[in-house]
Amino acid sequence: MASEINSISPRAQWISFFLIGCLSMLYAELFSGASRLWFVDFWSLIVVFPLYMVHVLFFFNLALLTRRTSPLHLYIWGMLFALYESWVTQVLWVGYSAQEPLVRTFLGIGIGEFLALVLFWHPLLSFILPIFVFELLVLSVQSEEPLNQRVLPTHVPFLVKTKFNRRYLLSFYVIGSIFIAANYQGNLFLVVTALGGTYGLIYILYRLARKHQFSVYSLRVTNKGLMLMVTYILLLYVVMVVGLGYFQGRIPGALPVITTFILYGVFGWLVMYSKPAAESVEIPPHIVAHRIALSDYKRLVYLNLILASALCIVYYFIPSLVAGALVFFYVTMCVIGCYIFYRVILLRNKQTQESLEKRYRTMEFT
């Protein structure tokens, strides 16, 4: 793949990097209501945005290097991604409020935080969904390049119009609309400005990227780039765990630290001792006609803006209703996260070229 890297100009590649970073910020930070006007906030620009952009690029490049790139693999990489919530924010150790975890702890890790963040939010919304949407944007551009050189074959079943895909996308946008309205405390101006500004940045970067015939391989970096990301991540973790964790008393003993290292080992073992992805399968050309189009994505954007705005108005009159919906979906995410984790463990060694080809043949489009 070295030729693929060298054929991309540095400017074009940085545009792709910023695009995937904005997508991760949208689904991870804005949909959770954690970041406000991040694109004009100094801390967000120098810490939060680089954190998400580098983590997505780092773990996706590890996936490419190890040939563990299927959605099941990406889920496990996403769990490794999620463990930054130990070192950077210490949320997995001390909870969202820094007082105590939501429910209780197990081996020093907050149970509610672990189930929601490690098994659901970060694998799906911070990592997988940004990559899938990036590939949807890639496919929206006319190109004579073979499909296999533009997107990953194992991702294609999630990029086309099926009932399941419509439901999962709609679910993410409903959850995001509820969370942002609740956590912004019904501030309509803030919600519209934050979402509108972020979608505006994504649109600008997309318009720039499409001039360069970008692909999923535009996100691939050289070995030097990978080492720079490793250095950045380690420095970030050390600075935050010392500056925010140690000096502010957010490290409740050695147990959560030891457990976090064990989780790295467990998740790393799960992904490495699984079958490589069947990315050599040829993508049937007719499938592209059934892809989730740019117009479909625009409808999701409008839905997000309208629903989040409507929920802000509801919050103004009945805040408990929106807060109750947030709690309901938070618990639902914990349950679904456990189910997805179970399915990933069950299926990670059952991915074959034959099973992917069969899936291509049996997909029912809507």
Would you state the pLDDT for residue 3? 46
Mean pLDDT of 15-32: 99
Q: Comparing C-alpha atoms, which of 62, 126, 80, 130 is closest to residue 277?
A: 62
In this predicted structure, the answer to whether residue 10 has a pLDDT above a threshold of 80 is yes
Domain count, the chain: 1
Give the whole-number percent of the chain exceeding pLDDT 70.
98
DSSP state of 28: I
Q: What is the mean pLDDT of the chain?
A: 95
In this predicted structure, the answer to whether residue 1 has a pLDDT above a threshold of 50 is no
Question: What b/e readout covers 185-219, taking b as 16+ CB neighbours within 10 angstroms?
Answer: ebbbebbeebbeebbebbeebbebbbebbbbbbbb
Mean pLDDT of 35-52: 96
* CA distances, 279 to each of 107, 135, 171, 218, 352 (Å): 38, 15, 28, 17, 10
Give the whole-number percent of the chain exceeding pLDDT 90.
90
Would you state the pLDDT for residue 202? 99
How many whole angstroms separate alpha carbon 77 and alpha carbon 82? 9
How many whole angstroms separate alpha carbon 101 and alpha carbon 99? 7
Mean pLDDT of 64-70: 98
Q: Which domain holds residue 170?
A: 2-362
**Beta carbons of 317 and 183 less than 8 angstroms apart:** no
Helix 129-139 and helix 10-24, axial crossing angle in degrees, nearest 10: 130
pLDDT tens across 320-357, in order? 999 999 999 999 999 999 999 999 999 999 999 999 99
Residues 6 or more apart in contact with residue 172 via CB below 8 angstroms = 27, 31, 124, 125, 129
Range scoring the smallest mean pLDDT among 86-100, 157-171, 228-242, 301-315: 86-100
How many whole angstroms separate alpha carbon 251 and alpha carbon 198? 33
Would you state the pLDDT for residue 6? 47
Phi-psi domain of 277 (left: phi exceeds 0; alpha: psi -120 through 50; beta: other): beta
Residue 103 pLDDT grade (very low, low, confident, very high; cuts 50, 70, 90): confident
SS3 29: helix
Mean pLDDT of 14-32: 99
In this predicted structure, the answer to whether residue 5 has a pLDDT above a threshold of 80 is no
With a threshold of 0.85, does the pTM exceed it?
A: yes
In this predicted structure, the answer to whether residue 243 has a pLDDT above a threshold of 80 is yes
How many whole angstroms separate alpha carbon 323 and alpha carbon 307? 15
pLDDT tens across 200-242, in order? 999 999 999 999 889 999 999 999 999 999 999 999 999 999 9
**Beta carbons of 36 and 194 less than 8 angstroms apart:** yes
SS3 110: strand
Residue 252 dihedral angles phi and psi, to the nearest 5°: -80, 60
In this predicted structure, the answer to whether residue 160 has a pLDDT above a threshold of 50 is yes
Mean pLDDT of 268-276: 97
At 315, list the tokens. 């919050």
